[in-house]
């Protein structure tokens, strides 16, 4: 190859042809999803074994690379967008989301300061405020977009820590003679609480797990007792995490009661609404937002329930300046780029370089409108309840928790009761290995249960009926 061909970018006309080919590829892929296996049946390492270990010396054509995507990557992928993917929260992407991702790539923005990214900064502020309005948070809540809720809770707790033990930012926990700080969350809350405690040097053991009631909601009186005991034992209560839509059952903690306890013990109240908060967009779910205005912070993951492709998570803090105070730090080389700005999002977290995530959210929210989003969410609620009705009509199955949002936990009970944990797990394993559907298993009160999450705009009642047939067939196979 001539040296001149090794310089610069792909020639414009060739790039245009590649883009047309890619547009067809994406449209074909979306249309053919239904006919693909949901998950591969490869063993770990199988994909790597098919790929050359040495990096390429010479460039290869896009057609050849795209051919390998078809040959190796697509069959090696768990298709989270597949209509029969019912794992986790069943969340997915949507066509406007894909368009948003595509537009974001050539803009190639680094949304660190206003000056390096005026449109990205202002659109982020706008989209954050749209979501705030949709989920009925008061105006005093400002937000920042991170990749995930795990990162959001870590930042929230960092602010809580600084307020509880001022100067930790400057002198560290030991230098600031910080007391042993404790965080409280239900035994159903997400493990990101412990991850945050690890990252912040608070210690994972200082996340105290609180029992839940029969509906898997935090037992508020137990929370109060544990906090009071900790105070008596010399610990310093730092924060309580109330979850709106827990990972296993989508249960909703009693936020107003937790807020009262937080006030009593001067604790930070963080609401983990990673999955559930998005449902507040539905007028019939608005009662769920009781107590949210008392929170210090709340995480909402539009990539879980508001149709935005991974990743997109918003941390709201009551008075966002509290977050900025803990994380602002302007090195000399960035000073020039920060002078005239009202808002530089690099000040609101540990990341400097930041993706232009707001664009895809803006495109989806405009494409669907609140009404379109609400109608789709409502359909997911209808499907979850319909599935629960099917379970109720077959005495070999039972619901393992009340249906909440798009989540249904259920259990096969049509065999020897000593074998049920193993059989429920085996049903999920077999179905996932078959490539016909994808479910999750979890443990509730030490019993293994099956779980589906409905969140995919492509999943119809017909798909769900098919999944139910597959579950029953597989139960017949393992149970006999």
Query: Where does this chain bind ligand PLP (CB under 6 A)?
Result: 148-150, 190, 192, 243, 245-247, 272, 274-275, 301, 313
Least distance from C-beta 308 to ligand PLP, angstroms?
12
Q: In the Cβ-directed half-sphere of 150, how many Cα atoms lie within 13 Å?
A: 11
Residue closer to ligand PLP, measured from CB, 313 or 432: 313
CA dihedral 433, 434, 439, 445 (to 10 degrees): -60
**Encoding tokens for residue 95?**
């066509």
> Which residues lie below 8 Å from residue 77, measured CB to CB, with a gap of 6+?
40
Least distance from C-beta 88 to ligand PLP, angstroms?
6
- For tokens 């300061």, the residue is 113
Least distance from C-beta 278 to ligand PLP, angstroms?
12
Least distance from C-beta 189 to ligand PLP, angstroms?
7
Least distance from C-beta 173 to ligand PLP, angstroms?
24
Distance CA 144, CA 158 (A): 15
Residue closer to ligand PLP, measured from CB, 253 or 257: 253
Q: Are 244 and 288 in contact (CB under 8 A)?
A: yes
Residue closer to ligand PLP, measured from CB, 189 or 475: 189
Residue closer to ligand PLP, measured from CB, 104 or 243: 243
Give the DSSP H or E segment for 118.
helix 118-134
Which pairing describes strands 440-444 and 407-412: parallel, antiparallel, or unpaired? unpaired
Enumerate the β-bridge partners of residue 396: none
Least distance from C-beta 163 to ligand PLP, angstroms?
22
Residue closer to ligand PLP, measured from CB, 158 or 178: 158
Q: Of all residues in the chain, what percent are helix, strand and coil, respectively (each to 5)?
A: 50, 15, 35
* Sign of the C-alpha dihedral computed for residues 322, 327, 332 and 335 taken in this order: negative
Q: Are 78 and 85 in contact (CB under 8 A)?
A: yes
Residue closer to ligand PLP, measured from CB, 243 or 344: 243
Least distance from C-beta 408 to ligand PLP, angstroms?
15
Least distance from C-beta 450 to ligand PLP, angstroms?
17
Least distance from C-beta 153 to ligand PLP, angstroms?
7
Nearest-5° Cα angle at 30, 278 to 365: 30
**Encoding tokens for residue 369?**
């409108």
Distance CA 274, CA 115 (A): 30
Backbone angles phi, psi at 432, to 5 degrees: -65, -35
> Which residues lie below 8 Å from residue 198, measured CB to CB, with a gap of 6+?
204
Nearest-5° Cα angle at 468, 465 to 472: 140
- For tokens 């400002």, the residue is 142
Least distance from C-beta 292 to ligand PLP, angstroms?
15
Distance CA 229, CA 223 (A): 10
Residue closer to ligand PLP, measured from CB, 190 or 380: 190
Distance CA 147, CA 300 (A): 11
Residue closer to ligand PLP, measured from CB, 142 or 152: 152
Residue closer to ligand PLP, measured from CB, 92 or 192: 192
The H helix count followed by the E strand count for the chain is 16, 11
Residue closer to ligand PLP, measured from CB, 252 or 323: 252
């Amino acid at each position: 190859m001539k040296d001149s061909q090794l310089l610069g970018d792909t020639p414009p006309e060739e790039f245009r042809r590649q883009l047309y080919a890619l547009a067809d590829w994406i449209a074909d892929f979306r249309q053919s999803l239904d006919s693909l296996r949901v998950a591969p049946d490869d063993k770990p390492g199988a994909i790597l074994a098919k790929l050359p270990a040495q990096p390429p010396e010479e460039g290869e054509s896009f057609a050849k690379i795209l051919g390998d995507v078809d040959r190796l990557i697509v069959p090696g992928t768990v298709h989270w967008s597949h209509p029969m993917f019912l794992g986790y929260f069943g969340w997915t992407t949507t066509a406007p989301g894909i368009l948003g991702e595509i537009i974001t790539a050539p803009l190639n923005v680094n949304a660190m300061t206003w000056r390096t990214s005026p449109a990205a900064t202002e659109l982020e502020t706008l989209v954050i405020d749209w979501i705030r309005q949709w989920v009925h948070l008061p105006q005093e809540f400002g937000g920042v977009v991170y990749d995930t809720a795990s990162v959001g809770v870590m930042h929230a707790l960092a602010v809580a820590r600084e307020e509880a033990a001022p100067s930790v930012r400057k002198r560290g926990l030991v230098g600031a003679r910080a007391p042993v700080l404790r965080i409280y969350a239900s035994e159903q809350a997400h493990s990101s609480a412990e991850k945050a405690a690890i990252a912040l040097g608070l210690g994972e053991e200082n996340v105290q797990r609180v029992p839940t009631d029969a509906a898997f909601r935090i037992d508020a009186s137990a929370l109060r007792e544990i906090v009071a005991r900790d105070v008596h034992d010399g610990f310093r209560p730092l924060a309580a995490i109330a979850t709106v839509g827990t990972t296993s059952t989508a249960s909703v903690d009693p936020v107003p009661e937790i807020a009262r306890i937080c006030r009593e013990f001067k604790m930070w109240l963080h609401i983990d609404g990673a999955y559930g908060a998005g449902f507040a967009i539905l007028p019939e779910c608005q009662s769920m937002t009781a107590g949210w205005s008392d929170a210090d912070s709340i995480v909402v993951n539009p990539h879980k329930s508001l149709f935005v492709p991974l990743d997109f998570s918003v941390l709201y803090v009551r008075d966002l300046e509290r977050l900025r105070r803990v994380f602002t730090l302007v090195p000399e080389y960035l000073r020039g780029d920060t002078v005239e700005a009202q808002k530089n999002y690099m000040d609101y977290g540990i990341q400097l370089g930041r993706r232009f995530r707001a664009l895809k959210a803006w495109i989806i929210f405009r494409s669907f409108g609140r009404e379109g989003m609400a109608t789709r969410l409502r359909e997911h609620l209808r499907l979850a309840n319909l599935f629960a009705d099917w379970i109720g009509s077959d005495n070999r199955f039972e619901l393992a928790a009340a249906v909440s949002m798009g989540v249904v936990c259920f259990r096969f009970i049509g065999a020897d009761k000593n074998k049920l944990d193993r059989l429920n797990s085996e049903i999920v394993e077999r179905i996932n290995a078959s490539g016909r559907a994808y479910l999750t298993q979890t443990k509730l009160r030490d019993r293994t249960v099956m779980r589906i999450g409905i969140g995919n705009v492509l999943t119809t009642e017909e798909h769900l009926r098919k999944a139910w047939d597959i579950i029953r067939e597989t139960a017949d196979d393992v149970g006999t």
